A = this chain, B = another copy of it.
Amino acid sequence: MSLRQIAQELGLSVTTVSRALAGYGDVSQQTRDRVVAEADRIGYVPNEVARRLQKGRSDAVGLVIPDSHGGLDDPFFIKVIDGAARRASELDMDLVVVTALPTHRDLRSQRRLVEGGRIDGLILTRLVEDDPRLQHLLDRRFPFVAFSGAPGADPRVTELCIDESSAVEAALDHLHTLGHRSIALLSSHAPFTFVKRREEAYRDAIARRGLRPRIARGPMNEQGGYDEAAALLLDQRRPTAMLASTDAIALGVLRAARLAGLSVPHDLSIVSMGDSPGLRISQPPMTAIRIPIADMAAQAVDLIVSLRDYGQVPAPRAHATELVIRDTTAAPRH
């Protein structure tokens, strides 16, 4: 099961066998055929670890997910893993997943991964302001891409993002066209960059229409969405539509509306931003801005390979989003 075995069997040098199997380099066709035949016969698979040591790279991409003690329930991560693992598999690479406490104050996971040579590049998610992870990677000039954007548009950071402006614009256009004039944004307190960007995009889009912005914030989960929506719905002049900045929040809004006895979409329209499967089977199915997380994750792998091999990337562009109209949006009642 090693090159040496094949070499001995065929009376060749290990080098020649290696070359023949690599598929390039100078080897006679005859030798190549013999080697390949023998390799097939004994079912040779190269030792990836040895190859990595020699090549000085690991052909693996890292991903850190939050350590939530068995409670990880964010569809975002399964999408990221799905997309990244698929692309990595296509490239004969590994996706290495480790957990870290969500605070990321403890860089041990990242250091083991990065400095131990286990991976060639890292996919970062949920970056916050002054994220220590970022500095660590920049200091080492280690290849990485940041999902959902990095704070401050640092040119050294390769971002993987959607065009938040046009995504929010599409949602507001849809609602505005339906006749809504009071549209709230259900945002969150979470310190992630995309949260802020979405808020800005919302403010701009609302201002362009001469409407009044209303932004609610809470924890970035279902309960948070529920609480935010419940408070807004108590208001005398409650909004006729809500744009939720994440799927979990949107599902909380839906629950709040139901418990308040409001009909969705007639008493309240809801648009979510995301792509969770839960949105399709919610009651009613949720209108949403689809964010192609898996595709973005697949691209992340390509970008990392490019960064590793060429030290730069072909200017990554924002991914297109898509308004998927389902059953939580309609014209407001008078």
Interface positions of A (Cβ within 8 A of B): 1, 43, 45-50, 52-53, 58, 60, 65, 67-75, 77-79, 81-83, 85-86, 88-89, 92, 94-100, 109, 111-113, 115-118, 222, 251-252, 255, 258, 276-278, 280-281, 283, 292, 294-295, 298
Contacts and interface: CB of A to CB of B under 8 A. Distances in A.
Contact of A94 (B73, B118, B280, B281): B118
A81 B111 CA distance: 21
Number of copies: 2
Given A53-B53, A281-B251, A45 B82 contact: no
A281 B278 CA distance: 10
Given A50-B53, A86-B67, A45 B111 contact: yes
B73 A99 contact: no
Contacts of A1: 115
B78 A77 contact: yes
A309 to B, nearest CB: 18
Given A49-B49, A281-B251, A99 B118 contact: no
A99 B94 contact: no
Contacts of A47: 53, 116-117
25 contacts: A45-B111, A47-B53, A48-B112, A50-B53, A53-B53, A60-B96, A69-B86, A70-B82, A71-B82, A72-B79, A72-B294, A73-B276, A74-B78, A78-B81, A81-B97, A82-B99, A89-B98, A94-B96, A94-B113, A94-B118, A95-B96, A95-B97, A95-B98, A255-B283, A283-B283
Contacts of A85: 65, 97-99
